[in-house]
Chains A and B, each alone.
Chain A
Amino acid sequence: MRLSDEFSPARWWGMVLKEFLQLRRDRLTFAMIIGIPLAQLALFGFAINTDPKQMPMAIISADGSDITRTIISTMKGSGYFRIVGELPSEEAGRRALAQGEVLFVLTIPAGFTRSLLRGEHPSLLLEADATDPTATGMALASVTQLSHSVSVKDLTGPLAALAGGEPPFRILVHRLYNPEGISSYNIVPGIMGVILTLMMVLMTGLAITRERERGTMENLLAMPVRPLEVMTGKLVPYIAIGMIQSTIIFLAARLIFNVPFTGSVVTMYLAAFLFVIANLTVGMTISSLAQNQLQAMQLTMFYFLPNMLLSGFMFPFHGMPRWAQILGNLLPLTYFNRLIRGIFLKGSTLPLLWPNIWPLLLFTLIMMAIAVKFYRKTLD
């Protein structure tokens, strides 16, 4: 009976065929085989940019002259800055930075041009949102070259005397919110959102499919319990888990990573609560769509990847091309990252955070409607 011990190509081929047959029937896995590499290629190849260009900048100008216009156009020419408009006051500038509408505010003081012409070496103020040091780092580095290049190009004729030697003006750079440019200040609060996304979506995604897979769903459906009771009843424990996880990350950020916390703890928990709910509704939707627990896990991964890559967690949001930013704007993690970083580093209060709160609420409502619509009241 030695024969049966040997490697049989026919048997082996039978095994290979069986695997292919099963793979072909498992449409979701098949979709992932094709979809994940394509999605990853698109994201890493096109969307992700660690040297982001075209970052929004606002200008507070008290002095408009040919020279200031030249300075601004030279900054634009570097490719790092995109002028989004003028702001009336310093407070307006701070608010725009805190809300994340702009990453830079350039202030041109009154009498700058006159001062420059007199050879007094005046200063421009460039304030930067340094929450994410990788986003602003290169741009700020480019600025130091700026005064030299402006002077060489434009100071001709009688002004040529100003060229050469000490630059005719200085640019003061203020790195706000994260002056030392410590990247863990940016990453650690962001981890809260990433972990909550993964855990909340996965756990609720499995919650209902588990019932379906084990056959206990039929029992549940035969009992006089309403779908809303089943769904919300299942959510409560996960809300508690989400809040515990938020607390753990908050404590770790403060005690281990020494991330500064300038906002209010209540606001942070409120933001975490809203975000947990938003993710639970995604989990519920997945739960209703997936046939079994494996599919629920695959769908979770499908949802998690773009969240991780397009939300501004790993890579600067403003460095992504427009289409990727639009996609990113559909994801709750994008808003939560802004909220949590705003609360940690910028001390943002609720009114300032509102532009990032209402999209979360809207997302939750839409997802909830989808989840309830797809919840199967019968076994059909």
Chain B
Amino acid sequence: MNADLAIQVSGLNKHFGDRHAVRDLSLQVRRGEIFGFLGPNGSGKTTTIRMLCGLLLPDTGSGACLGYDILRESAGIKRRVGYMTQKFSYWDDLTVRENLDFAARMYGIPRRREVVDRALEGLGLTNRSRQLTGALSGGWKQRLALAASLLHDPELLLLDEPTAGVDPAARRDFWEELHSLSARGISVLVSTHYMDEAERCHKLAYIASGKLLAQGSAAEIIHAQGLTTWLLRGNDLTGLSRKLQGLPGVLQTVLFGAMLHASGTDGLLLESTLRAITADSCCRMERFETSLEDIFIYMMNRVDTPGTNAP
């Protein structure tokens, strides 16, 4: 067991009835790292996170979280991990303070009152501490959940789509908070659908249909796929996109508003195809650095298994 690793699991498998939700998943997260966990809906992100913190038992596989065996020592993991569920899971019919107080009691935190007061202050919710939690907006609920999961000074945070349904300003604040936590040495595993968030992670993993397709820094992941991408601008990009599909060298076209990304693994073939097409239409083309989004769409389409959208 490497002491530098907050999470080290290998060969995790989980079935729900006939559905193979997670397949042979192996993952390493270093201490102090913000690790982004990406993948389409129903790809097994939540299942994986739940297995990491002992909420689900893997069918096969082994590993450790903060040095505790995920199969046998889930009690130890629970004490040292902060987990934020995808759906807000604090009690709507308790006040903000009562929720924090309850969490503090569950973790047996000494000098509870002080800790809760400090958390309320940090949240900026001191004035609203007597308000029912159900009355808070989505952004505030998310901040409360984060504060509650940090009460017991966890060494590792597992965040399951923490920013889903939160406005951009609140998302930015949230990520700043994550980076300051990471600077203090707390490891963070965060699942997300947002590419801008993915780019703010130190390391990324991409999972689709329960299979881990790539793992590494953003640059490593982009490089590993060997995609070349061109950017096309002009009129009727939808028509152009349709025309390009199936042409030699074009593996994928993605429309981004007024821009069309065309990608392929054979850079020269792709370029000559594009030049031929753009020559007789009023399009401009330029070389573009393949983005994470292009890569993820590319990987998602290459998974040959049929997509099941159950969570």
Contact = CB atoms under 8 A, between A and B. Distances in A.
Interface stretch (B30-38, B85-93, B255-263): B85-93
Interface in A205-255: 214-219, 221-225
B56 A216 contact: no
B106 A215 contact: no
Given A215-B89, A219-B85, A379-B50, A224 B75 contact: yes
Interface in B66-104: 75, 78-79, 81, 83, 85, 87-92, 103
A378 B106 contact: no
A214 B56 CA distance: 19
A380 interface: yes
B53 interface: yes
Indicate the member of A216, A217, A218, A219 with the most B CB atoms within 10 Å. Answer: A219
B239 to A, nearest CB: 36
B44 to A, nearest CB: 14
B139 interface: no
B54 interface: yes
A182 to B, nearest CB: 45
Contacts of B85: 215, 218-219, 222
A378 B83 contact: no
B55 A218 contact: yes
Q: Which size bracket describes the interface of A in this complex? A: 10 to 19
Q: Which of A222, A379, A380 has the most CB of B within 10 A?
A: A222
A224 B106 CA distance: 7
B101 to A, nearest CB: 13
B107 interface: yes
Interface residues of B, number: 22
Contacts of B56: 378-380
Contact of B88 (A215, A217, A223, A379): A215
B134 to A, nearest CB: 10
Interface in A14-72: none
A249 to B, nearest CB: 29
B178 interface: no
Contact of B55 (A215, A216, A225, A379): A379
Nearest to A221: B55
Contacts of B55: 218, 221-222, 378-379
B208 interface: no
A218 B55 CA distance: 8
Given A378-B55, A378-B56, A222 B88 contact: no
B89 A224 contact: no
A224 B91 contact: no
A216 B88 CA distance: 8
A224 B92 contact: no
Given A218-B85, A378-B55, 15 more contacts: A214-B92, A216-B91, A218-B89, A219-B89, A221-B55, A222-B54, A222-B55, A222-B83, A222-B85, A223-B107, A224-B79, A224-B106, A378-B56, A380-B56, A380-B57
Interface of A: 214-219, 221-225, 378-380
29 contacts: A214-B89, A214-B91, A214-B92, A215-B85, A215-B87, A215-B89, A216-B89, A216-B90, A217-B89, A218-B89, A219-B83, A219-B85, A221-B55, A222-B54, A222-B55, A222-B78, A222-B83, A223-B103, A223-B106, A223-B107, A224-B75, A224-B106, A224-B107, A224-B108, A225-B106, A378-B57, A379-B50, A379-B55, A380-B56
Interface of B: 50, 53-57, 75, 78-79, 81, 83, 85, 87-92, 103, 106-108
